[in-house]
Structure 1
Amino acid sequence: MPVEASLLEILACPACHAPLADKSSDDPAELVCTGSDCGLAYPVRDGIPVLLVDEARRPA
């Protein structure tokens, strides 16, 4: 289930405060930090972003 665009506009990475992007082509269940140094990918479960750094996936 994708995240609503209005919600995505106000969400920020809890680690670096950069905007988050919906990378639906890669994995529809993740929001990815757009920060150049961060890049954490946060899971989306049942349409709700889980913005916990401990739950985030590190970039490859």
Structure 2
Amino acid sequence: MAVQLDAQLLEILACPCPEHGALLVGTPADPGADFLTCSVCHRSYPVTDGIPVLLLDEAVRLDADQDPTDG
């Protein structure tokens, strides 16, 4: 299921890491994934029950071909 966030909320959300950037819906490998991915550091943050979990401890660093839901 694709992330459903208000466009204005998505505009103000930012990655919590020091080299933060805009958050993009999905992941490089799956644009419909329930994640927000930083356009600068490429960490992906899960979206649980429609709520972005923007905690560095919960972030997943991905290569372009990885899927964060794969164990």
Q: TM-score range by the shorter chain?
A: 0.7 to 0.9
**Aligned twin of 2:37:** 32
9-18 vs 41-50, which deviates more?
9-18
List, as ranges, runs of 4+ consecutive aligned residues in structure 1 with deviation greater than 3 Å: none
Structure 2: runs of 5+ lacking an equivalent: 64-71
Structure 1: runs of 5+ lacking an equivalent: none
Distance 1:56 1:45, change over 3 A: same
Identity of aligned residues (%): 50
The superposition leaves residues 21-57 of structure 1 with CA deviations (integer Å, 9 ceiling, x where unpaired) of: 112781431000001xx10000000000000011011
**Aligned twin of 1:2:** 4
| TM-score for the superposition, normalised by structure 2 | 0.71
Equivalent residue in structure 1 for 2:53, among 32, 50, 56: 50
The Cα RMSD (Å) is 1.8
Quick check: which has more Rg, 1 or 2? Answer: 2
| TM-score for the superposition, normalised by structure 1 | 0.83
**Aligned twin of 2:68:** none
Does the 8 Å contact 1:22/1:30 carry over to 2? Answer: yes
Does the 8 Å contact 1:2/1:28 carry over to 2? Answer: no
